[in-house]
A = this chain, B = another copy of it.
Amino acid sequence: MYEGAVQDLIDELGRLPGVGPKSAQRIAFHLLAAEPADVEQLAATLLRVKNEVKFCSICGNVAQAEVCRICSDARRDPAVICVVEEPKDVVAIERTREFRGRYHVLGGAISPIDGVGPDDLRIRELMVRLRDDVITELILATDPNLEGEATAPYLARLVKDMGITVTRLASGLPVGGDLEYADEVTLGRAFSGRRRIE
C-alpha cells in the first residue's frame, strides 16, 4: 500500500478494463514522473469526453455534434445501412474503405446471459429509419460470435416483409492465416461459403 493519492490513483486505474494491479502501478508511477502539463491534459481530456461527446441522433455512433460526420456526409449512399454493435466496429469497417453507405450502431447484441434484450438495443430507431427512408439493403455486421449470430437473424426476421435486401458479412478463413490453425467452425463456414473462381 502506498500513501494517499498514489494508492487512490492505482486503485482507480485498476478498475479500468484490461488494467491489472501491476499495470495500474506502472501507469501511476509513469504519471508521477511525467510532466505536470501532460497529466493535466489527460485529466482535462477525460472531462471533455464526458461533456463534449454525443451520440449521433440518426445512427447512434459517437459524434461531436447532433449528427455524426458520416450521417451528415451527402456523398454517402443513403440507401444502404450497415448494422454494427459498437462505434469501434464503424471505425474498423471505415478502415477497409469498402463501404460507402451509412451505419446503425445497436449499442451491443442480444445476450440473455448478460440481461441484454432487444429493447436495450437501438432496434426501434433502426425500424424508424427503415420505414421513413428509402433503404434498399441492410447489411448485418454484428460480431461473428454467439450474441452477434443470434442478433442478426432476429433483425432479419423483423425486416422480412419490408422488401429490403438483407445481407450478412461473409465468414471464412482470415486472410494471411494458416488453414491448419483455423478452428473447425471457421473452416466449416469457409467450406459452406466457398465461391466459384471465374
A 11-26 binary contact with B (CB < 8 Å = 1; else 0): 0110011110001011
Does A149 lie at the interface of the complex (its beta carbon under 8 Å from any beta carbon of B)? no
Which of A2-10, A123-131, A134-142, A157-165 binds B?
A: A2-10
Does A48 lie at the interface of the complex (its beta carbon under 8 Å from any beta carbon of B)? yes
Could you tell me if A23 and B18 are in contact, using CB atoms closer than 8 angstroms?
A: yes
Could you tell me if A46 and B52 are in contact, using CB atoms closer than 8 angstroms?
A: no
Could you tell me if B40 and A47 are in contact, using CB atoms closer than 8 angstroms?
A: yes
Could you tell me if A63 and B30 are in contact, using CB atoms closer than 8 angstroms?
A: no
Could you tell me if B8 and A45 are in contact, using CB atoms closer than 8 angstroms?
A: yes
Known contacts A12-B41, A17-B30, A29-B87; is-contact A3 B63 (Cβ 8 Å): yes
Does A43 lie at the interface of the complex (its beta carbon under 8 Å from any beta carbon of B)? yes
Which of A31-39, A169-177, A180-188 binds B?
A: A31-39
Residues on B with C-beta less than 8 A from A69 are 3
Which of B2, B26, B62 is close to A32, meaning CB atoms less than 8 Å apart? B62
Could you tell me if A49 and B27 are in contact, using CB atoms closer than 8 angstroms?
A: no
Query: With A and B bound together, what is the CA distance between A23 and B17 in angstroms?
Result: 8
Binding site for B on A (CB under 8 A): 1-6, 8-9, 12-13, 16-19, 23, 25-32, 36, 39-50, 52-53, 62-64, 68-69, 86-88, 91, 94
